[in-house]
Amino acid sequence: MRVRPKSNRDDVGDLPLTPMIDVVFLLLIYFMVTATITPPESRVASTLQGERGAGQARDLKPQIVTVDLTGEAVTYRLGSRVFADRDSLSAALEQLPKEGGLFVRVTDRAPWSAVAGVMQDALDAGFVKRTYVPAD
Amino acid sequence: MLIGSKPSRVRFTVNMTPLIDVVLLIIIFFLYTARFAEVSRTSVDLPDEPGTADATTDPDALLIDVRSDGVFLVNGRDRSLERVLEIVQEQAERAGGPENLRVLLRADRGTAAGPVNNLARQLTRMGVRQWSHATVDRSGRG
């Protein structure tokens, strides 16, 4: 009687890769179609105004930018000066002393895009301390 | 000695096709029933500014979204201002006080500042000082 050593190679079937590749391809298409590409978010930090009359030293005159909406146009008031565009405002902010910080006073009707723009301009001008103040 | 017929060579083939079909059905089922948006950020049209830092680098900050119609959202759900303040109070207690709480405001650039001002006034009364607003740099200036 001839005894042949059993080969394991015959017991293993061939794995069909085609269906698996089909599935992977479908999943890839699904995720590509449903994925949304969004740019990374940034942030601009500021502080909220504390309670008034809290005993803080008032050696420096506060520098206040008021953001408002007049008619359809956004206006930026810095002291007695009124700016109609951000470029002139940012140029004026560059000239201000930075150690006292900047208060950004915002009226209820001001568009948020303009408020964020002023905060960005204050940041770019070098104001480390930026305070958000809701207008009364 | 020949007994019976010669045994044929056994070929054991694993048929993967039904298994893969079932796996595919299960994957489709879970993809459709999963609730991805529960903790993800709400789609808000943020102001187009470069900002300073990645808004995702502060995972402990309390996210408050403000839609263009002025409605507040926390964790993707509409909230009244009173409910937002309750959540702020809870988070402030967890943070060890309102002075330690950081609020990240994600306000739509098309909204008026009125709702944000209302929130800011209340946060000020509660003692919250640290807040920042989210922007997005679409033009890659930053």
**Mean local confidence (pLDDT), A3-26:** 67
Class of the CATH-defined domain A61-134: alpha beta
pLDDT tier at A15 (50, 70, 90 boundaries)? Answer: confident
CATH of the domain at B96: 3.30.420.270
Look at phi and psi of residue A23 and say left if phi exceeds 0, alpha if psi is from -120 to 50, else beta: alpha
Domain assignment present for residue B10? The answer is no
pLDDT tier at A53 (50, 70, 90 boundaries)? Answer: very low
Q: Is the pLDDT of residue A125 over 60?
A: yes
Q: Is the pLDDT of residue A76 over 90?
A: yes
Give the count of alpha carbons within 13 A of A103, CB side only. 16
What pLDDT is stored for residue B37 in this prediction?
45
Residue whose C-alpha is closest to residue A131's, from A66, A63, A65, A47: A47
Q: Kindly report the pTM of this predicted structure.
A: 0.72
Residues 48-107 of A with CB under 8 A from B: 48-51, 67, 69, 106-107
At residue B107, what is the residue type?
A
A73 compared with B137, residue with greater pLDDT: A73
Distance from CA of B99 to the nearest CA of A (A): 11
Q: Is the dihedral of CA B88, B90, B94, B98 positive or negative?
A: positive
> Which residue of B lies nearest to A16 if distances are taken between CA atoms?
B16
Q: Is the pLDDT of residue B138 over 60?
A: yes
Domain total of chain B: 1
Contact B120 A134 (CB under 8 A): yes
Domain assignment present for residue B94? The answer is yes
What pLDDT is stored for residue B49 in this prediction?
92
Give domain limits for chain A: 61-134
> Which residue of B lies nearest to A1 if distances are taken between CA atoms?
B1
Domain assignment present for residue B78? The answer is yes
Strand blocks (E) in B1-142: 53-54, 62-66, 72-74, 77-79, 102-107, 130-136
pLDDT tier at B34 (50, 70, 90 boundaries)? Answer: low
Supply φ then ψ for residue A67, to 5 degrees.
-100, 125
User: Could you list the residue range(s) of the whole structural domain that residue B79 is in?
Assistant: 55-133
Across the interface, which of B9, B15, B133 has its CB nearest the CB of A119? Answer: B133
Q: Is the pLDDT of residue B106 over 70?
A: yes
pLDDT tier at A58 (50, 70, 90 boundaries)? Answer: low
